[in-house]
Amino acid sequence: MTNEGRAESYLVLGGTGFVGSHILKALAASSSTRIASYSRSLPPAKKVLGGVQYYTGGVQDEEKLVQIMLETEATVVFHTVSPPHNDDESAYYAVNVLGTQAVINACKRASAFASTSPASAEAGCVRALVYTSSSGVVWNGKDISGATEDEVEIPEMGLEAYSATKGIGEKAVLAANGDKLKTAALRPHAIIGPGDNQAIWRLVENYTSGQYHFQIGSGTNLFSTISVTDVARAHLLAAAALLRDSTSPAVGGQAFFITDGIPVPFYKYPRLVWRELGASDDFWVVKLPRWLCLGLAFFVERWRGLVGGHTILTEFVVKTVTMEQWYRCDKAERLLGYKPTVTLEQAVRETVQWWKEEGAQEHAAQSQSKKLR
């Protein structure tokens, strides 16, 4: 509820996804009474949360978005929809740019329509939009060591398509901030937790194939991580701050880094995963020089460009695992009241446990489904 005692109605776009599903759980746990999810598909029966209304549709479908916002009388919208990192560039643009603009338009249109209906009063007027961005929007391929939001900017040319399009989406959301619609963007880095279908299976593959014995670079570069539980909680804090924007330090139109507050050497996270999977504490490691891997990646990418196919050894990947990327979240602590609550070790244990109990089976089913398409 807001300070005025109004009951808010929450709509989570991408509610069956990684971050979105945890936001739904956090809302349900907070006794929020009006919660809705909008995603491409419905969740499996065992994952349906009581008290949550589920809708399906695409993020680019502006008319459908307006319809759902009006039907649920949404006052707060969380936009967590994001294509997988291994999608093609057209998917990145379609979701992160066109889809995000459709969400912004829908929020404004739904509010305008609701405000003309005396019966709805302020119910159904979307007053807060929180966008799940990424710290990657500011990365330009150089070391970032303890940067704040004021010290780094979104570059004109993004380092790769995913981050570039996320940056365009973030800019659009923040530019939409105004008196009637308050907006904010959260920039998590390296999200860890149950439901992760992107990083964890790659780390599992590294382990089962024996690749975990090979390290690119010195491994001393520091890296930020964050539990998906804290990411979800930060979204709720951002929404609450936007709703009280007129009575507290303004957060509307701003972006916030969110991390667990403790940068660690890059390989600490994957090695915690590998040990949870069964690797010994002192497994042998061969360190491959960064310059060598960059050279190999240069030639592999160009060879693949000629003959086709996909490679995971890219210049972008080599830079990602060998350069410093850690961020300060003082601003989120000061303006949102954010404090990390889950350690890296705890997040890894929860993730690997989920993988063993559910994730591996889900990933296998998804892979099989893609093969049949």
Residues with Cβ within 8 Å of residue 17, at least 6 apart in sequence? 39, 80, 81, 82
* Residue 354 pLDDT exceeds 80: yes
pLDDT digits (tens, 9 = 90+) for 188-228: 999 999 999 889 999 999 999 999 999 999 999 999 999 99
Where is 313: in which H helix or E strand? none
What is the maximum span of the chain, computed from C-alpha positions, in angstroms? 70
Q: DSSP letters of 66-132?
A: HHHHHHHT-SEEEE-----TTS-HHHHIIIIIIIHHHHHHHHHHHHHHHHT-TTTTTTT---EEEEE
Separation CA 95–CA 60 (nearest Å): 7
- For residue 314, give the 3-state DSSP assignment: coil
- Is position 162 annotated as part of the catalytic site? yes
Determine the residue type at 362.
E
Q: Out of 10, 55, 92, 162, which one is annotated catalytic?
A: 162
Q: What percent of the chain stands above pLDDT 90?
A: 76
- Cβ atoms of 80 and 23 closer than 8 Å: yes
Of the pLDDT bands very low, low, confident and very high (cuts 50, 70, 90), residue 10 is very high
Checking if the pLDDT of 70 tops 60, the result is yes
pLDDT at 369: 59
249 or 272, higher pLDDT: 272
Whether the predicted model's global pTM rises above the 0.85 cut = yes
Residues 6+ apart with CB under 8 A from 60: 94, 95, 98, 99, 102
pLDDT digits (tens, 9 = 90+) for 273-331: 999 999 999 999 999 999 999 999 999 988 888 887 777 888 989 999 999 999 999 99
Which two three-digit tokens encode residue 181? 């619609």
Q: Lowest-pLDDT range, 28-37, 160-169, 277-286?
A: 28-37
9-195+223-260+325-342: CATH class: alpha beta
Q: What is the mean pLDDT of residues 332-337?
A: 96
Amino acid identity, residue 69? Answer: M
> 267 pLDDT exceeds 90?
yes
> What are the residue boundaries of the structural domains of the chain, listed by start?
9-195+223-260+325-342
pLDDT at 89: 84
SS3 152: coil
Half-sphere exposure of 302 (CA within 13 A, CB side): 5
What pLDDT is recorded for position 119?
Answer: 54
pLDDT at 46 over 60: yes
pLDDT band at 174 (very low <50, low <70, confident <90, very high): very high
Residue 123: the pLDDT is 56
